[in-house]
Amino acid sequence: MGRLSGFRYRDIVRILKKFGFDFYRQAAGSHEIWYNMETKKFTTIPNHNGDIPEGTLRAILKQANIEV
C-alpha cells in the first residue's frame, strides 16, 4: 500500500473543494469534470465505489496542480 491509498470519491471531492474546485459537468460514464476558476485548471475524477487507485489519484492531483 502506498501513501496515497485508501482514498474514496468523497475524500477526493473534499480535497478538491478545499483547493477551490467546483463541479463543472458530467463526463463520459461515471466520470466528473471539476474546475477551479482561480487557477483555470480542470481535473477529471471517477465516481466509482471503493478506493481510487494510487496512479489515478496521482493523475488527478497532477491535473489539479496539487502537491502530494
Does this model's pTM top 0.85? My answer is yes
Predicted confidence at residue 1, as pLDDT, reads 53
Predicted confidence at residue 44, as pLDDT, reads 95
Q: How far apart are CA 40 and CA 50, in angstroms?
A: 29
With beta carbons less than 8 A apart as the criterion, state whether 14 and 60 touch. Answer: no
With beta carbons less than 8 A apart as the criterion, state whether 10 and 60 touch. Answer: no
Q: What CATH code would you report for 9-64?
A: 3.30.920.30
Confidence of residue 68 (pLDDT cuts 50, 70, 90): confident
Give, in order, the Cα–Cα distances in Å from 39 to each of 7, 19, 35, 60.
24, 10, 9, 15
Rg (CA), the chain: 11
Give, to the nearest 10 degrees, the angle between helix 54-64 and helix 9-18: 20
- For the chain, the domains span 9-64
Digit-coded pLDDT (tens) for 5-64: 789 999 999 999 999 999 999 998 999 999 999 999 999 999 989 999 999 999 999 999
